Every structure is written in structure tokens, then in C-alpha cells.
């Protein structure tokens, strides 16, 4: 079952809060690189904020700052007490507080990205925190990962399989990954990326832009028909 | 033994005059300067069962400095020893209260109460040092309470308990320190902008020159803490009285304009 | 005891508590906590100082919220007694006892009412009492953050006018023990329950953090906690002794102040505090 697709009844806040997008996935799969890429590509067209949950330091936030893609003030780091999955799923209070504080300081915003700390395949975002979520895998974990499933892989609104440039080195078959992912995801989208080679990640940016527009449309026409997202 | 002593200043033509200087042995006081009074203990102790009270009244616009000639050695006796210091500091008045440390001898049972009521615009430096026994000595018990208000609004309330197995040696309370001390610094709203010391400043940095400290400053065993209200607390732990004094003096310099 | 106490004291209460170690992370980093022995001493000292102060503030907040709640339901038109002043000009009485001699009145504040309006002014007054007992800005910040997160969640879990007043009175967040006391009242708990829950959370957060940071055997750490049960009960009893707010316990823990400030200057932090 989808974490979010039957959650559309959650009508956008009449006061017009930003769309909240969760980005999760295992350690090292490229979450931070993806968030940086999204900021770089969407920064000129959307009003953005970022909450990062890196479990070690403010390293993720610093990475984003160095990438020069976003005003450092618009990035908040939340410490999760060694429990990144707790902070995005079981007890989302600190993350909600960070999101709302960004909206208070810089609002109105179009999009707030919440990047989880690196975790395992079972970690997903609570619907109370994220309106939509992206799960990021990379091919170096092996081409069996999509088949194994787990809530992240099966229920995320978008599955991103990153580091396709490494596939040939690690013997991962992208066709197998694509087929297995499609089978467990009941038609929800999967995008293959190599952020190292295409740092703008146009395909993912386009998908995100689509859900933000759909969100904004629903906000302006609370009783009108939902506009389908670009790729979903 | 019960004793009640009092000091009060008066303003006479813009100058400070010691209007009241009432000793009550063993609480004996000597004026040692135009606005300076030294506490001179004329008996051992306090001993268990003693009840000593000192009342300090610094009239608006006047200055007073209180020191002591030696540390206070708290000794056991029949019952609890109690010292109460009650001080009022008026608007535009300045009080520096910096006696030598209170040393808790073995077997003592001591209670220390300080009530400090400041009017807005008062300037105060208030130092307290407690030493857990003489060299190699295991102290008796002590319970101190310090309450400071400004214009009736609470500024700082803190209690120290020594000799309770729950806190002695706890890494959360005193750790392995043998002394605890603090200096409360209150200055009228300074003309300069608030200043933030370098957060990780070391001891070599120059003291600030204007404004009020807004960021805590930290060193070994000592931290300078801007309070929620208009004041700064220097808090220190140390292995011995000399190190404690050094830390508090360093912290006081960070907390004040100089 | 009200069964809602179980929910309040549960570490799964979604109010951001899991991100705080109460000084334990820094104590582990500097080597002040290395195993179950010094963890036990850390927790016992923390409970006897910060834990007792928090429990007493929480009990006072619970009493205040319960009164607000009752008045909201039963006596909508009832006016509040304005906060009592601290008698700054109180005359000196040489023979006066040094012990607090004032009887308890819920909501009697040790400071003037600066709000211009009833209950909210009293919440600010109680919050100011918490401020005066927290010298460390790092600890005040962590306490307010936790208080704000707790009220945010609790207002959805136990909607009550008693929770609206503190939230309105201090928008950046009342101190955590005050929030926990107010929430206890909203959940139907007594001031003693509130004190117990607050004392309990003052040691379970650091204990859990130590388990995660040092890889301690969780059973051994729970044995340490079990050994503190009599202390918890005695702290909760002491915290409920009826007294004016200004006379509530104010036990300082200088080492916790140092640890809290050092922690904020440490690059690698897994916990907020």
C-alpha cells in the first residue's frame, strides 16, 4: 500500500503551507547529493527550505552550504539522538518544529525538503511530516535490493536508483532492478540517476516540480479536481 | 550563639557614608576604607547551634564593598549552624560582596541563606565559595540557598547541597571537584551594544570593553553564563580553593565591562 | 495515580524527547560516564538536583493548569488573583525564621504580573521561576524547545483550554517541566503524578542516551534505573511539598551547566542536548 497516494485527502493547509517532501534511503545512497541537486535545479524557480537529519554532525547542512545552492539560513540541522528513523516516523516533533520555523522565518515557501539520516530499508516518513517522499537507493548495494522491497522501496512516491555509472563496475543489472521495482511498486514511478554525471538531476527535479504545482493548485482550488502530477 | 549585625549606607551630599555599622560578636566588622568593610570573626565557627544574621542595606546611589580577613571554618556543634545574609541594593547603588571562602569542616551541619533584593539600576558583584573540607578532610553537610530578585522579578535562585550521598561525587553535580563557587554580576543596562565573546574563547583573549555579555564563555572548570534576566553568573568547580579563586576571577573579568 | 501517567512517562510519547540526552552525551565524550557505575552516580545526582527542580515546577504547573481548567469549565467568568509581588521593600525582621513560612496557594506567583491578564501572566510568572533556576543558556534553550514540542503534540492529544494558556503566554515555548505539568493536568493527572513523570523523564532520557552511545547492556542500565525507584518516589514527594513558587527547590548542578555549554561547542553531536 502506498504511504502517500491515498493520502491526497489531506487537503493542503488553507493558510498555504509549503509542500513537505521527505528524502530517505540507506547511508551513502546519495540523499544529500540529491537534495543539493534539487536545490541547484529548482532553487531559481521555487522558494525552498531544507531540514537535514544527518546523524553525525551538521555535515549534510555544511555540504549543501558549500555547494552554494541555498542560503545557509534556509537549512536547519536536527539532531536525532542516534535514531534517524524515530525522528521521521515515530516522533516527528523536532522535524515539524524545524519545518515550521523555516516557514515562519522565510515563508511563504513552496517546498520544504526533509532529508532523513541514513537508515535501513524499512525507514519511511510519517504522513504527519512528509506529504510526499522519495526513497534513494544506489546500484552498488546490488541489483537484488528492489526485489527485497521493504516499506521504503515499495511505498515511496518516487524511487530513485542512483549511481547508475557504477552499475558496470559492481555487476548490477539495471533492467533487473527496473523490472523488480516496477513489480513491487504497483506502478509508482522509478527514476535512474547518476548525480555525479548529471548533477542537475532533471528527471527528479521535474517530478518534484510537478508535485509542488499540483499541491499549489489544490491549495488555490481546494474543491476542484486534482491535477495529476507530471510523472506520477 | 545568636548574632545580628547590620551595615547600611547613606548618601550625604552625593558621597557614601556608613550610617550603620553594627557588629554583634562573633560577627564583627571593621571599616577599612571609605566604602569598604571587612568582616572579622572574633570567635571560632560558626559552630553547630549558632545563628548568625547579617543585614546589608545599600542606599540608592551609594557604594559598599564587603570583604573578610579570613575564610570561615564551619565547625560541628549541638545542632545546625545557620548564617543568613539579607541584602538590599538600591537604584544606582553598587555593592561588591566578596568574602573569603566558607570551609566545611568534618561533622559540620550548616545552612546558608542569602536573600538579595535589587532595585533596577543596581550594580552588584556577589561571590560565594564553598570548600568541601580542609586538606584531606571529609566535609560535614551544608545546604545553601541563594535568591536574587531585581525589581521583585526572580533573577537567580540556586541551592547547593554538600554531604548528601546522592550528589557527592556525581558527574552531574560536582564531579571530583573539592570546591564550588559562583559570582553573580549585575550591572545596569550598559550604553554599549551587547557583545558576544568568541564562543570558544581561551584565557588569553582580552576582556570585553563594552556592553553586556550575550554568549556564554567557557574554560576549564569555569563557565560564564548570561542569565535569562539582566545578570551574568560565573560558575566554577575546582580541586582546591586557589584554583577556584583563579577561575572565578577570570570569569568575573569576562562578565564585566572593564 | 491516573493511568494517563503511563502515557506521559512513556519515551514513545511523540514530543521530541528522544533527541535529548540531558548532558549524558557530553559526559560520555569527556569520559565522565564510562559504564554503569558512573552512569548510576550521574543519574542519581541529576535526579537530586535538576530532576527535583523540574519535578517541583511540574507539580506547580499541574496545579495551576488544573485550576485554569476547572475555572474554564465551571466558572467561565471567574477572575484570577493577580500575581503577588515579591515584597521587594519588605522590612527587615531580625527574629524572622529563615525557613519559608508562607502557605501554599496554587498560582501564587513570586513576581509581579507583567501580562496585564490573569492566567497568562501567571504562566509567565511560573516560567520566570524556571528561568531563574536555569543559569545555563544551553539548558534554557533545550528546555524551552522540549516544552514547545511537548505542548504542540499534547494540544492535539489532550485538547484542553489549560494547554492554550501556557502556549499563548510563552510562544517560544514554556520550560519543559512546566509544559509537562500542564499536560499532566490536561491528561487528568495530579501534581504528584506530574512530579513523578517529570522526575522519571529526567533520568530515563540520559540513561537511554548512554545505552546508545556506549553500547551498554540495556538490562544492566534498567537495573540501575530500578535501583533509583525509591529516589524517584522521594523526589516526587518533596516536589509536591506545598510552597509558594519563589520557595520551590532550586538545586544547582554546576557540572551539568558546564557539560551543557561544552556540548553546544562540540562538533560531533548526536543529541540536541
Alpha-carbon separation of residue B87 from B117, B234, C19, C99 (angstroms): 6, 20, 42, 17
CB-based burial label for B11 (10 Å; 0-12, 13-18, 19+):
middle
pLDDT in the model for residue C99? 37
- Which residues of A are known binding-site members for GTP? 25-32
Start-end of H helices in A107-157: 145-148, 151-155
The Cα B108–Cα B48 span in angstroms is: 7
What's the gap in Å between the CA of A93 and the closest CA on chain C?
5
Give percent of chain B with pLDDT exceeding 70: 91
Alpha-carbon separation of residue C105 from B254, C63, C83, C125, C195 (angstroms): 41, 10, 11, 14, 17
Alpha-carbon separation of residue B116 from B37, B155, C99 (angstroms): 18, 10, 16
pLDDT in the model for residue A148? 86
- Provide the strand spans (E) within chain B: 2-12, 15-22, 27-33, 36-41, 51-58, 63-68, 72-74, 81-89, 94-97, 102-104, 109-118, 123-131, 141-150, 153-162, 179-186, 217-219, 222-226, 232-238
- The answer on pLDDT for B43 being more than 90 is no
Q: What is the average pLDDT value for chain A, to the nearest integer?
A: 85
Contact status, residue B99 vs residue B130, Cβ threshold 8 Å: no
The Cα C166–Cα C126 span in angstroms is: 10
Contacting residues of C for A57, CB less than 8 Å apart: 267-269
Contacting residues of C for B174, CB less than 8 Å apart: 254-255
Put simply, whether C33 touches B (Cβ < 8 Å) is: yes
Contact status, residue B210 vs residue B247, Cβ threshold 8 Å: no
In tens, the pLDDT along B125-176 reads 999 999 999 999 999 999 999 999 999 999 999 999 999 999 999 999 999 9
pLDDT in the model for residue C139? 97
Best CA proximity match to A112, nearest among A44, A217, A20 = A20
**8 Å CB contact of A57 and C153:** no
Centroid of chain to Cα A213: 16
Q: Which residues of chain C have pLDDT under 70?
A: 69-118
The secondary structure of B199-247, three-state, reads CCCCCCCCCCCCCCECCCEEECCEEEEECCCCCEEEEEEECCHHHHHHH
3-state secondary structure of C167: helix
pLDDT in the model for residue C71? 55
pLDDT in the model for residue B175? 96
Pairing of strands B123-131, B102-104: parallel
Select the more confidently predicted residue: B103 or A232: B103
What value does the mean pLDDT take over residues A41-62? 80
Centroid of chain to Cα B10: 23
Instruction: Return the C-alpha cell found at B53.
Output: 544574621
Alpha-carbon separation of residue B204 from A49, A50, B198, B199 (angstroms): 40, 39, 12, 13
CA atoms within 13 A on the CB side of C195: 26
In tens, the pLDDT along A141-150 reads 889 999 888 8
What's the gap in Å between the CA of A122 and the closest CA on chain C?
19
pLDDT in the model for residue C89? 36
pLDDT in the model for residue A58? 60
Instruction: Return the C-alpha cell found at C199.
Output: 522526575
What value does the mean pLDDT take over residues A158-168? 95
The complex's ipTM works out to 0.91
pLDDT band (50, 70, 90) for residue B196: low
The Cα B37–Cα B14 span in angstroms is: 19
Contacting residues of C for A96, CB less than 8 Å apart: 152
Any idea what DSSP says for residue A220? H
The C-alpha cell 569598604 sits at: B36
Best CA proximity match to C24, nearest among C179, C202, C165 = C202
Start-end of H helices in chain A: 31-42, 59-66, 84-85, 93-106, 145-148, 151-155, 167-170, 174-185, 202-220
Partner residues linked to B112 by β-bridges: B83, B144
3-state secondary structure of C109: coil
Contacting residues of C for B53, CB less than 8 Å apart: 94
The C-alpha cell 504542540 sits at: C152
Q: What is the average pLDDT value for chain C, to the nearest integer?
A: 85
Any chains having at least 3 CB pairs less than 8 A from chain C are A, B
C-alpha dihedral (B54, B55, B61, B63), degrees to nearest 10 = -10
In tens, the pLDDT along C22-40 reads 999 999 999 999 999 999 9
- Give the strands of the sheet with B2-12, arranged side by side: B15-22, B2-12, B51-58, B81-89, B109-118, B141-150, B153-162
Mutate to test the interface with C, among B172, B180, B239 (most CBs of C within 10 A): B172
C-alpha angle with apex A57: A52 to A62, nearest 5 degrees? 65
C-alpha angle with apex B38: B35 to B44, nearest 5 degrees? 165
- Which residues of A are known binding-site members? 25-32
pLDDT in the model for residue B192? 56
Best CA proximity match to C53, nearest among C149, C130, C128 = C130
What value does the mean pLDDT take over residues A113-129? 90
Best CA proximity match to A204, nearest among A59, A63, A4, A40 = A40
Q: Residue C257: which of B153, B225, B229 has the nearest Cβ? A: B225
pLDDT band (50, 70, 90) for residue B211: low
Mutate to test the interface with C, among A77, A78, A81 (most CBs of C within 10 A): A81
Amino acid at each position: 500500500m502506498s504511504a502517500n497516494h491515498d493520502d491526497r485527502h489531506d487537503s493542503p493547509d488553507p493558510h498555504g503551507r509549503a509542500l513537505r517532501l521527505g528524502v530517505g534511503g540507506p547511508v551513502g545512497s546519495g540523499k544529500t547529493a540529491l537534495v543539493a541537486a534539487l536545490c541547484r535545479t529548482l532553487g531559481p524557480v521555487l522558494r525552498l527550505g531544507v531540514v537535514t537529519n544527518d546523524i553525525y554532525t551538521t555535515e549534510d547542512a555544511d555540504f549543501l552550504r558549500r555547494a552554494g545552492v541555498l542560503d545557509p539560513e534556509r537549512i536547519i540541522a536536527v539532531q536525532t539522538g542516534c535514531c534517524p528513523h524515530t525522528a521521521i516516523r515515530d516522533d516527528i516533533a523536532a522535524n515539524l518544529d524545524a519545518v515550521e520555523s523555516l516557514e515562519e522565518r522565510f515563508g511563504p515557501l513552496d517546498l520544504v525538503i526533509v532529508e532523513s539520516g541514513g537508515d535501513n530499508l524499512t525507514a519511511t516518513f510519517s504522513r504527519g511530516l512528509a506529504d510526499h517522499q522519495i526513497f534513494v537507493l544506489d546500484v552498488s548495494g546490488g541489483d537484488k535490493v528492489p526485489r527485497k522491497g521493504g516499506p521504503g522501496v515499495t511505498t515511496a512516491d518516487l524511487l530513485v536508483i542512483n549511481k547508475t555509472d557504477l552499475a558496470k563496475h559492481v555487476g548490477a543489472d539495471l533492467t533487473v532492478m527496473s523490472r523488480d521495482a516496477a513489480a513491487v511498486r504497483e506502478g509508482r514511478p522509478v527514476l535512474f540517476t547518476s548525480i555525479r554525471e548529471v548533477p542537475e538531476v532533471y528527471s527528479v527535479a521535474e517530478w518534484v516540480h510537478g508535485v509542488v504545482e499540483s499541491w499549489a493548485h489544490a491549495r488555490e482550488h481546494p474543491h476542484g479536481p486534482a491535477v495529476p502530477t507530471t510523472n506520477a | 550563639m545568636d548574632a545580628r549585625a547590620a551595615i547600611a549606607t547613606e548618601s550625604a551630599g552625593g558621597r557614601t557614608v556608613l550610617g550603620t555599622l553594627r557588629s554583634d560578636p562573633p560577627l564583627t566588622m571593621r571599616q577599612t576604607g571609605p566604602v569598604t568593610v571587612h568582616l572579622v570573626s572574633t570567635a571560632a565557627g560558626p559552630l553547630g547551634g549558632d545563628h548568625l544574621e547579617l543585614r546589608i542595606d545599600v542606599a540608592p546611589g551609594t557604594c559598599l564593598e564587603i570583604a573578610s580577613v579570613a575564610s570561615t571554618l564551619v565547625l560541628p556543634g549541638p545542632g545546625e549552624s545557620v548564617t543568613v545574609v539579607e541584602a538590599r541594593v538600591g537604584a544606582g547603588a553598587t555593592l561588591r560582596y566578596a568574602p573569603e571562602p566558607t570551609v566545611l569542616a568534618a561533622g559540620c551541619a550548616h545552612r546558608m541563606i542569602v536573600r538579595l533584593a535589587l532595585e533596577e539600576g543596581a550594580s552588584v558583584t556577589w561571590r560565594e565559595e564553598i570548600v568541601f573540607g580542609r586538606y584531606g578532610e571529609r566535609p560535614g553537610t551544608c545546604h545553601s540557598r541563594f535568591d536574587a530578585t531585581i525589581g521583585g522579578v526572580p533573577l537567580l535562585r540556586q541551592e547547593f547541597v554538600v554531604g548528601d550521598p546522592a550528589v557527592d561525587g556525581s558527574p552531574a553535580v560536582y564531579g571530583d571537584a573539592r570546591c564550588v563557587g559562583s559570582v553573580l554580576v549585575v550591572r545596569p543596562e550598559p550604553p554599549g551594544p551587547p557583545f558576544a565573546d568568541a564562543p570558544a574563547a581561551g584565557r588569553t583573549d582580552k576582556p570585553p570593553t563594552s556592553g553586556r555579555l550575550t554568549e556564554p564563555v567557557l574554560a576549564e572548570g569555569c563557565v560564564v553564563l548570561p542569565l535569562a534576566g539582566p545578570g551574568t553568573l560565573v560558575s566554577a568547580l575546582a580541586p582546591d580553593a586557589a584554583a577556584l579563586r583563579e577561575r572565578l576571577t577570570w570569569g568575573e573579568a569576562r562578565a564585566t565591562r572593564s | 495515580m491516573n493511568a494517563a501517567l503511563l502515557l506521559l512517562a512513556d519515551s514513545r510519547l511523540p514530543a521530541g524527547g528522544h533527541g535529548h540526552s540531558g548532558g549524558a552525551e557530553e559526559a560520555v565524550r569527556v569520559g565522565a560516564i564510562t559504564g554503569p557505575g558512573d552512569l548510576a552516580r550521574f543519574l542519581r545526582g541529576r535526579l537530586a538536583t535538576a530532576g527535583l527542580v523540574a519535578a517541583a515546577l511540574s507539580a506547580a504547573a499541574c496545579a495551576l493548569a488544573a485550576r485554569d481548567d476547572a475555572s474554564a469549565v465551571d466558572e467561565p467568568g471567574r477572575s484570577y488573583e493577580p500575581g503577588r509581588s515579591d515584597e521587594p521593600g519588605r522590612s527587615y525582621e531580625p527574629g524572622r525564621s529563615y525557613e519559608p513560612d508562607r502557605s501554599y496557594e496554587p498560582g501564587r506567583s513570586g513576581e509581579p504580573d507583567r501580562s496585564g491578564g490573569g492566567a497568562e501572566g501567571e504562566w509567565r510568572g511560573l516560567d520566570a521561576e524556571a528561568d531563574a533556576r536555569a543559569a545555563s543558556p544551553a539548558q534554557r534553550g533545550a528546555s524551552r524547545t522540549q516544552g514547545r514540542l511537548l505542548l504542540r503534540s499534547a494540544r492535539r492529544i489532550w485538547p484542553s483550554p489549560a494547554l492554550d494558556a501556557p502556549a499563548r503566554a510563552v510562544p517560544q515555548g514554556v520550560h519543559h517541566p512546566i509544559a509537562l505539568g500542564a499536560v499532566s493536568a490536561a491528561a487528568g493527572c495530579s501534581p504528584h503524578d506530574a512530579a513523578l513523570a517529570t522526575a522519571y523523564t529526567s533520568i530515563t532520557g540520559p540513561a537511554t542516551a548512554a545505552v546508545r552511545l556506549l553500547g551498554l547492556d540495556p538490562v544492566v542500565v534498567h537495573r540501575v534505573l530500578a535501583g533509583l525507584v525509591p529516589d524517584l518516589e522521594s523526589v516526587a514527594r518533596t516536589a509536591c511539598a506545598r510552597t509558594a513558587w519563589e520557595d520551590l527547590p532550586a538545586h544547582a548542578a554546576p557540572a551539568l551547566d558546564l557539560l551543557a555549554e561544552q556540548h553546544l561547542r562540540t562538533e560531533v553531536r548526536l543529541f540536541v542536548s
